[in-house]
Amino acid sequence: MPVNFLDSESLSDLRRFLERGERIGASSVRLQALGAVLVSTVPVLAPKGLGDSTPLILGLRTQAIGPGEDRDVVVSIRSVRERIARMESAQELALDWPPVTLTESWAGMAPPQRGWERSGTVPVSEVAERADAVLAPLAQFTTTQPEAVLQSALRADAHAPLGPAGVAAAAQTLGFLVGSEPAVLARAARWSRLST
């Protein structure tokens, strides 16, 4: 059973999110159809194996969808983008699930769905300023590994309340820092979350 989007704007929003994810080095996406919500998660930074101290940073986007079966798969971003391109040209809103699923270690380290405790808010403009300060000096370097840029960002000053500078950089590169509402900070176990 396909994922039925409610409107073309939601489909375009998913396309933009996946395009931005690819630009920062992600090749896979976790798609979770949970009731009337599609949760899309891409790895912004992830450890490559045992002994790798790189922190896990995930970008997560949601869209409202029509009723259907619950599903949880990891698939190639490219395969989803190709399907969306065909849908947009045909003005369709039903996304067929890619037939080939992937096994990715980062997808097994999902944050909890419940138990988040709000720890404060911060103006989006402040997060954007921090992201710009981290990313601007790195823009002069050309790299075929975009994640290296964010790893450099993570080594930057990690003062409270925003946590690692890489989180601000990730939020900026995924297009989350828009609007005037403050970003909400929350914690659950070892996880931290920045929501806009």
Single out the residue of 36, 101, 102 nearest to residue 69, CA to CA: 36
Of residues 101 and 150, the one with the higher pLDDT is 101
**Cα 96 to chain center, whole Å?**
21
The per-residue pLDDT for range 89-109, each reduced to its tens digit, is 889 999 999 999 999 989 988
Contacts of 7 (CB under 8 A, 6+ apart): 93
Residue 13 and residue 73 in contact, taking contact as beta carbons nearer than 8 Å = no
Q: Please give the residue that has the higher pLDDT: either 153 or 62.
A: 62
Please name the amino acid found at residue 120: G
Q: What does pTM read for this prediction?
A: 0.87
**Tens digit of pLDDT for each residue in 24-59?**
888 999 999 999 999 999 998 887 777 777 778 899
Residue 30 CA neighbour count, 13 Å, CB half:
20
- Smallest Cα–Cα separation from 55: which of 151, 186, 177? 151
